[in-house]
A and B are shown apart, each in its own frame.
Chain A
């Protein structure tokens, strides 16, 4: 970052430039979130709402279900995303551009349109059902099940895994792999001893980014799942709009938010989920930089 290059009194002026943005954020994000956290302690203040989270029998079930599906989504995106991102670093500029465009398609396909598409794809006897039947698998139900929700969520989350992975992988000097082979490693061993350790920063930020976003999924489970297997986000929504229990909604929200922020903090110290978003924004055209 460039240091001060304006005259001496410039810092005051620069602070002024931050005021509108911070004021907007305060009104829309900080104050509502703080109010919601304050409300969760009730009047008079107590930890009752938080104690209820652990004792009401429903919240924790839903929380663990959400956590479980987030873990599955995260691991599947890694298993599918890593080879894809690796392929991007290896392909010619033209193919890389194509692969990048393909990554950005779900990223920018309207969320509602995409969920609608999955609704059709996962129907009973829909296209996905038929593909599975073709391979002789008949007993998997996708419609209104956690399986279906997970398949759709994985698709939505893949770009968030691929983009930070790609930016990490593209920064690794391929000569190191050749050097390792020249020093006596088989190509497979060279990969595990040299390439994989160097890609860990990208893996880490991809994992945390996908996991935190998966924890907060709302629309996809609401549309593709069923009330019997709702996720934590639906529980928050239900408490706020149907039960009008804003304190309980606030407590649950605060709990999830703290889990999320702790994880994001970890990712940032590792090289950053924010940087993953920078990758997306600065790719600015779907063609990528290659």
Chain B
């Protein structure tokens, strides 16, 4: 609390870009109800560490942007609390929260030069003139836009405009930077370059970053942790590798990367085997998601890179789980091939990744797909 109330004077007295001290952001039972069938954000609790790069990921309409707006103060909470370093800011208007924000469409002031745009938050905080000049210079250097300060936003490319917006959002050393799909309007190449830049700046300024995106690759590339949103609730929180390797629900497994999915119906989480069609598969206790329960549907998922393909059952190792498959298509992807499979009698869509060299499969061939039990994951539906 003291930290936040002092942050204005402190930030500017310290006057260093590398503040290396982020703010902890805590959401306690945060709810936003627009009066529709289901609240847009439904009772979310999330703790974002100081200096962490947290991504709110999810499909459109999953509540991630609303959550960001609740943190920023652009929306009013229906229920719950938003705490910055332990202080409840629910009643504070946006201009008193001292957060940086980056918008998808940049939101640069079109009637102001690059310099005036970046100086704007400093002037609002009554910073001394020479101090403004120094800080704007520093931050324009940080985003590699030196020498453009007299330009108007419309004279810059999309990527440059987003750099200006980034400079403007961090120039006053906000302890938290909120990024609302900032790369959404850029083309693919530019996105990659700016992702690197955002990561570098995060490392250099040390603020807490809260990043909203619907792009799973972007989330995987940038984040320390990802909070995956689904219909106003958080499905799972964790490091990118954790979400990919250890999904707790089918939604998570499908949203991040490709999966072969076998729907099992209700199973008991303590069984050491499950049945699917005629197959019986061994289940390793530590591959069972904590969300699996006997009163809820479950599914078995395996990533394509965990699946091997053999000509017949005799070639399958005895400790592996296997299913019969038909090869529908073979995709050549440079370093590897992907076999597109029809799995089991149900002819489920499936995929297996194999060596680019192994070319002894042909279309329509009946084969056996198999995987070691540790490569699979039993998740809740």
Of the candidates A175, A184, A194, A198, which one forms a contact with B95 in the assembled complex, judged by CB atoms under 8 Å apart?
Answer: A184
Interface flag for B91 (CB, 8 Å): no
Name B74-117 residues within 8 Å CB distance of A: 74, 93-95, 98-101, 103, 105, 107, 109-111
Interface flag for A234 (CB, 8 Å): no
Interface flag for B172 (CB, 8 Å): yes
CA distance A184 to B107 in the complex (A): 15
B109 A182 Cβ-Cβ under 8 A: no
CA distance A180 to B94 in the complex (A): 9
Residues of A within 8 Å of B38, CB to CB, are none
Residues of A within 8 Å of B100, CB to CB, are 182
Interface flag for B121 (CB, 8 Å): yes
Interface flag for B209 (CB, 8 Å): no
A181 B94 Cβ-Cβ under 8 A: yes
Interface flag for B124 (CB, 8 Å): yes
B124 A179 Cβ-Cβ under 8 A: no
- The distance from the CB of A226 to the nearest CB of chain B, in whole angstroms, is 47
Interface flag for A189 (CB, 8 Å): yes
B124 A189 Cβ-Cβ under 8 A: yes
Of the candidates B94, B98, B109, B172, which one forms a contact with A178 in the assembled complex, judged by CB atoms under 8 Å apart?
Answer: B94
Of the candidates B94, B105, B110, B125, which one forms a contact with A182 in the assembled complex, judged by CB atoms under 8 Å apart?
Answer: B94
Among residues of A, the one whose C-beta sits closest to the C-beta of B171 is A183
A185 B95 Cβ-Cβ under 8 A: yes
- The distance from the CB of A90 to the nearest CB of chain B, in whole angstroms, is 15
A182 B99 Cβ-Cβ under 8 A: yes
Of the candidates B105, B111, B124, B169, which one forms a contact with A175 in the assembled complex, judged by CB atoms under 8 Å apart?
Answer: B105
Interface flag for B163 (CB, 8 Å): no
Name A157-196 residues within 8 Å CB distance of B: 173, 175-176, 178-187, 189-190, 193-194
Given contacts A173-B107, A185-B124, A189-B124, contact A179 B101 (CB under 8 A): yes
CA distance A190 to B124 in the complex (A): 10
B109 A194 Cβ-Cβ under 8 A: yes
Interface flag for B168 (CB, 8 Å): yes
Name A187-232 residues within 8 Å CB distance of B: 187, 189-190, 193-194, 197-198
Among residues of A, the one whose C-beta sits closest to the C-beta of B98 is A184
B105 A181 Cβ-Cβ under 8 A: no
Name A43-75 residues within 8 Å CB distance of B: none
CA distance A137 to B168 in the complex (A): 53
A197 B95 Cβ-Cβ under 8 A: no
Of the candidates B93, B110, B111, B121, which one forms a contact with A183 in the assembled complex, judged by CB atoms under 8 Å apart?
Answer: B121
B101 A176 Cβ-Cβ under 8 A: no
B111 A198 Cβ-Cβ under 8 A: yes
B107 A175 Cβ-Cβ under 8 A: yes
Among residues of A, the one whose C-beta sits closest to the C-beta of B121 is A183
Interface flag for B340 (CB, 8 Å): no
- The distance from the CB of B101 to the nearest CB of chain A, in whole angstroms, is 4
Which residue of A176, A180, A183 has the most chain B CB atoms within 10 A of its CB atom?
A: A183
- The number of chain B residues with a CB under 8 A from chain A is 22
CA distance A185 to B98 in the complex (A): 10
Residues of A within 8 Å of B229, CB to CB, are none
B103 A179 Cβ-Cβ under 8 A: yes
Name B220-278 residues within 8 Å CB distance of A: none
What mask results when residues 10 to 36 of chain A are scored 1 for a CB within 8 Å of chain B, else 0? 000000000000000000000000000
Residues of B within 8 Å of A178, CB to CB, are 74, 94, 103, 107
Among residues of A, the one whose C-beta sits closest to the C-beta of B105 is A175
Residues of A within 8 Å of B120, CB to CB, are 180, 183, 193
- The distance from the CB of A186 to the nearest CB of chain B, in whole angstroms, is 6
Residues of A within 8 Å of B93, CB to CB, are 181, 186-187
B111 A173 Cβ-Cβ under 8 A: no
A182 B95 Cβ-Cβ under 8 A: yes
CA distance A187 to B109 in the complex (A): 15
CA distance A178 to B95 in the complex (A): 9
- The distance from the CB of B98 to the nearest CB of chain A, in whole angstroms, is 7
Given contacts A183-B120, A186-B95, contact A176 B109 (CB under 8 A): yes
CA distance A178 to B180 in the complex (A): 13
Residues of A within 8 Å of B169, CB to CB, are 183
Residues of A within 8 Å of B74, CB to CB, are 178, 181-182
Interface flag for B25 (CB, 8 Å): no
Among residues of B, the one whose C-beta sits closest to the C-beta of A184 is B124
Name B123-171 residues within 8 Å CB distance of A: 124-125, 168-169
- The distance from the CB of B65 to the nearest CB of chain A, in whole angstroms, is 12
CA distance A160 to B339 in the complex (A): 68
A184 B103 Cβ-Cβ under 8 A: no
CA distance A138 to B62 in the complex (A): 62
A183 B105 Cβ-Cβ under 8 A: no
CA distance A197 to B120 in the complex (A): 15
- The distance from the CB of A76 to the nearest CB of chain B, in whole angstroms, is 27
- The distance from the CB of B117 to the nearest CB of chain A, in whole angstroms, is 9
CA distance A185 to B109 in the complex (A): 13
Interface flag for B219 (CB, 8 Å): no
Residues of B within 8 Å of A190, CB to CB, are 95
CA distance A194 to B169 in the complex (A): 16
A184 B172 Cβ-Cβ under 8 A: yes
- The distance from the CB of B118 to the nearest CB of chain A, in whole angstroms, is 10
Residue ranges of B at the interface with A (Cβ–Cβ < 8 Å): 72, 74, 93-95, 98-101, 103, 105, 107, 109-111, 120-121, 124-125, 168-169, 172
Residue ranges of A at the interface with B (Cβ–Cβ < 8 Å): 173, 175-176, 178-187, 189-190, 193-194, 197-198
26 cross-chain CB contacts under 8 A: A173-B107, A175-B107, A176-B109, A176-B110, A178-B94, A178-B103, A178-B107, A179-B107, A180-B120, A181-B74, A181-B93, A182-B95, A182-B99, A183-B101, A183-B124, A183-B168, A183-B169, A184-B98, A184-B121, A184-B124, A185-B95, A185-B124, A186-B95, A189-B124, A190-B95, A198-B110
Starting from the known contacts A178-B74, A182-B72, 7 additional A-B residue pairs (CB-CB under 8 Å) come to: A178-B103, A181-B95, A183-B169, A185-B95, A185-B124, A186-B93, A193-B120
